[in-house]
Each structure stands twice: as C-alpha cells, then as structure tokens.
Amino acid sequence: MFPKTRNIESSFRYIRLVSLAAILGSVLSGIFFFVWAAAAISRAQSKVYILSAGKALEAFASDRSANLAVEARAHVENFHERFFTLDPDEKFITDNLKRALYLADGSAKQVYDNLKESGYYSGVVSGNISERLVVDSIAVDLSGYPFRFRFYGTETITRTTSRVTRDLVTEGWLREVNRSENNPHGLLIERWSILDNRDVRVEQR
C-alpha cells in the first residue's frame, strides 16, 4: 500500500513539474511573440511609400534633424536652379519663377520685380537667350536659427552671338515651415541677396 502511495505522490509531483514548465514556457513564448510583434509593427510604421510615375517607392521615416543639412542644401539648390534657369519662352520663365518664389520670402520677389521692371525677362525672350546655372557649392550653418547659407554657382548665358560665363554668389537664411506640394523640404529662404554676379568670361559664337 505504501509503495502505491509513494508512486501516486511521485506522479503528482511529476505532473505539477510538467504543468509548471508548460505554463512557464507559454508565458515566455507569449512575451517573446509580443515583443517580436511590437518590433515588427514599429518597423512597418517607420516605412513611407511614395507614389512616383505609377510606382510605389519605399522610403523610411527619420528624425528631420538627421537630414536637415541635406534638405537645406537641396532647398537652396532647387530655388537657385528655378530662379536662374531661363529660356526664350514666357510661359517657361513664368512657371519656373513661380515655383522658385514658393521657396523664398519677399526678398526674392523684390529681386524678381526689379529684373522684370528693368526688362530683363522680356529681353531674354526677344533676344532668344538661354540661361543655365551650375551649382559649385552650398554652405549651410546649422549652429544658429534661422540657418544661414551661402550659395556659389556659375551662370552660363547663351546669346545668338556670344556665350557669357558669370560667377554667382548669394546668401540668405532658412526658416522652417510646413511641408507642402510647392515646398517639399519645409524651408523658406529669407533675406536673400545677391553678393556677386560679375562676368568672368565672354566667348564669341
């Protein structure tokens, strides 16, 4: 009788150990899968999909400060390329300058108004002039706010009988604003001024 009782007690202890092990394993498995699922959701939420030409392109969300220098330079480059790329076509000039002026404040509009009043743009159209800009470098100082920048570039102005090369140096400040379709980097150029725009070479064609 006693051996049977001991066997029953041993069986109960074994069953308890197996049950405890199963419960502990279930709890640990639950914690593991919860952590894994949370990490997977976090990774999925950090992905951004951009629709371009009918194709979904994957991008990754990140803190703006990590890419601020790159975005600032891209914003300054976009503005200058749009402002200084001209062809003898009124609609092209108007559309390009309209897009450029979305990226800057009234200081850029003032430069545009002065050039327009002086007949510069009508001269481009009537003289069949093309103007192109090559970016040399863009320096952005992120140590203070708003962010100061200086742009260095080379303009090429092609006329019927000549090609003129000019240095272009400008400076201004960048202020953060909301992103939009017209201003994808969410920055606005303020107090923009042209420091140097002199001819460095004139070639006959």
Strand partners, 56: 51
Max avg pLDDT among 11-15, 45-49, 155-159:
155-159
Distance CA 84, CA 111 (A): 12
pLDDT of residue 2: 47
Residue range 57-82, pLDDT digits in tens: 666 555 566 689 999 999 999 999 99
Residue range 30-51, pLDDT digits in tens: 888 888 877 777 666 656 666 6
| Number of C-beta neighbours around residue 159 at 10 A | 15
Contact call for residues 115 and 93 (beta carbons, < 8 A)? no
CATH class of segment(s) 62-204:
alpha beta
C-alpha triplet 183, 65, 181: angle, nearest 5°? 15
Give me the numbers of helices (H) and strands (E) for the chain, helices first please. Answer: 5, 7
pTM listed for this prediction = 0.70
State the chain's mean pLDDT as an integer: 88
Q: Is the pLDDT of residue 6 over 70?
A: no
Contact call for residues 183 and 177 (beta carbons, < 8 A)? yes
Block residue for tokens 């006329």: 159
Which of the 8 DSSP states describes residue 104? B
% of the chain beyond a pLDDT of 90:
67
Domain limits of the chain? Answer: 2-48, 62-204
